[in-house]
Amino acid sequence: MKLAIIGAGNVGGALGTAWAQKAGHEIVFGVRDPAAEKTQALVRKIGSKARAGGLAEAAAYSDVIVLTVPWSAAEAAIRSLGDVNGKIILDATNPLAMGPDGLGLEIGHSTSAGEKVQGWAKGASVYKTLNTTGFGNMADPVFHGVKSVMFVAGDDAGNKPKVMTLVGELGFDVVDAGPLRNARLLEAHAMLWIELALKRGLGRDWAFARVTR
Ligand SMILES: NC(=O)c1ccc[n+]([C@@H]2O[C@H](COP(=O)([O-])OP(=O)(O)OC[C@H]3O[C@@H](n4cnc5c(N)ncnc54)[C@H](OP(=O)(O)O)[C@@H]3O)[C@@H](O)[C@H]2O)c1
């Protein structure tokens, strides 16, 4: 499959590498400066399955677009993609902002980053996913043989199995978390991971997993 990864930082780099190497997908990083040495170094590291291009070019080339830019850049990035009618968009952003109590969610009770992205990406099918764990766990989601969990929330039920397969190819235990409005829950869930990882001593090498009876 052709995947456009918008952003080639921590998350974009981890996902592009994993999808190319574990599942053989073709990766095009959609970035502001495709010639930047850090992006070219990433492309070289991944090998023949990866390249870098502009945002609109990457989006036009691909069936699936994965948004991995900072929240503050998300609207501009989506608007730079051009026509996304009929595309699948995986939104990995979290609407983080500094508040009086430190890092927190800028929105969340009455809307979410996922729903905002859907509003900007007219005609696309937006799914909230790949936002509730650290980028290191996206590269390696399996802990001593146990898959960590990853949720997928989105309204387009027809394309959801395809999205869940893509996320599963990374090595996650994938759970359908319902409609896109449940991005509000997933973004809060991400905040819990961030709080525990960065402020409560768990560090980045832990993840949520599902147990059932
Ligand atoms: N870090 C994590 O563990 C983690 C986990 C889950 C979710 N997330 C979410 O994933 C997103 C990315 O996080 P990250 O840690 O990967 O960030 P990062 O390492 O800073 O990478 C961000 C990428 O976005 C690009 N970018 C910035 N502004 C842009 C714009 N206006 N248009 C196009 N591209 C732009 C940057 O490109 P330039 O080099 O051109 O600046 C860079 O490639 C954030 O929303 C974050 O909340 C992060």
Ligand 1 centroid–CA 90 distance in Å is 14
pLDDT at 104 (0 to 100):
96
Ligand 1, atom 40, residue with closest C-alpha: 32
CA of 69 to the centre of ligand 1 (A): 3
32, 39, 69, best to mutate for ligand 1 pocket (most atoms within 8 Å of CB)? 69
Work out which ligand 1 atom sits closest to the CA atom of 113. Answer: 45
Q: What is the CA radius of gyration of the chain?
A: 16
Q: What is the mean pLDDT of the chain?
A: 98
- With a 6 A CB cut-off, is 93 part of the ligand 1 pocket? yes
Give the amino acid at 135: F
Q: Ligand 1 center to residue 71 CA distance, Å?
A: 8
pLDDT of residue 198: 96
Binding site membership of 9 for ligand 1 (Cβ less than 6 Å): yes
Amino acid 10 reads N
Say how many Å lie between the CA of residue 68 and the centre of ligand 1.
5
Whole-model pTM: value is 0.98
Per-residue confidence (pLDDT) for residue 42, from 0 to 100: 98
Work out the average pLDDT over 62-75: 98
pLDDT of residue 203: 98
Handedness of CA 46, 49, 52, 56 (dihedral sign): negative
* Nearest atom of ligand 1 to the alpha carbon of 14: 16
The SS3 assignment for 91 reads strand
User: Residue 17: what pLDDT?
Assistant: 98
pLDDT, one tens digit per residue, over 78-134 is 999 999 999 999 999 999 999 998 999 999 999 999 999 999 999 999 999 999 999
DSSP class per residue in 10-49:
HHHHHHHHHHHHHH--EEEEE-S-TT-HHHHHHHHHH-TT
The finding on whether 14 has its CB within 6 A of some atom of ligand 1 is no
133 CA from centroid of ligand 1 (Å): 14
Joined together, the tokens standing for residue 62 give 């691909």
